[in-house]
Amino acid sequence: MRRIPILATIVVMAAVGVMVSLGFWQLRRMHEKEALLARYVAATANPAPVEWSPAGPGDDMLYRKSRLTCASVGLRSGIAGRNAAGEPGVAQTARCTLAGGGTALVVMGWSQQPLAARDWRGGVVTGVIAPGPRLVADPPVAGLQANAVPDPSDLPNNHLSYAGQWFLFAATALVIYVLAVRRGKSAGKDQPRA
């Protein structure tokens, strides 16, 4: 009779333990993310604006209304975005130097053409703080159309599927291990005795 391989068993059980731990960690992350998203949803309903800090707003200020003064406009760019009607196009961005020091990324507005707001020289911008952080102008500046309002429901919370994957990996490792041990035992029975 062939014995169970000790080293292989230790390695497989350690790997399964790690995978199961990662699955439970993802479940905890799911609950943390749900609480974070609930806080962001509550922030969207808060009409009181927050001050844009020269160091940039913290995560606790995301999805709140804010205002800043763009003293000078630096690098301009365009990123894929949607307008208020949901049409795809280009969100026009500018890196602003703030009057009180620091910089901020401002999403000036939306257009179908890249770099459509080349003449904008800065000024006071009001809007909503989105992840990045960036200030999504509302109303838009430089004659651009309105961007889609940042929405916390756009943030994925896929930790449950990640947890399921880790648990599935652990189960798969156990099944493969059991099949390998059984195959080894049956191969040992088929060998002629000396």
pTM of the model as a whole: 0.74
**Per-residue pLDDT reduced to its tens digit, 65-108:** 999 999 999 999 988 999 988 899 999 999 999 987 889 999 99
Domain membership of residue 180 as a residue range: 6-37+158-190
Beta carbons of 194 and 50 less than 8 angstroms apart:
no
**Residues 62 and 85 reside in one and the same domain:** yes
Domain count, the chain: 2
Structure tokens at 17: 């333990």
Residue 139 located in a structural domain? yes
Backbone angles phi, psi at 19, to 5 degrees: -65, -40
- Residue 117 pLDDT: 79
**Per-residue pLDDT reduced to its tens digit, 31-60:** 999 998 998 998 888 888 888 887 778 888
Residue 153 located in a structural domain? no
Give me the sign of the Cα torsion angle 123, 127, 129, 132: negative
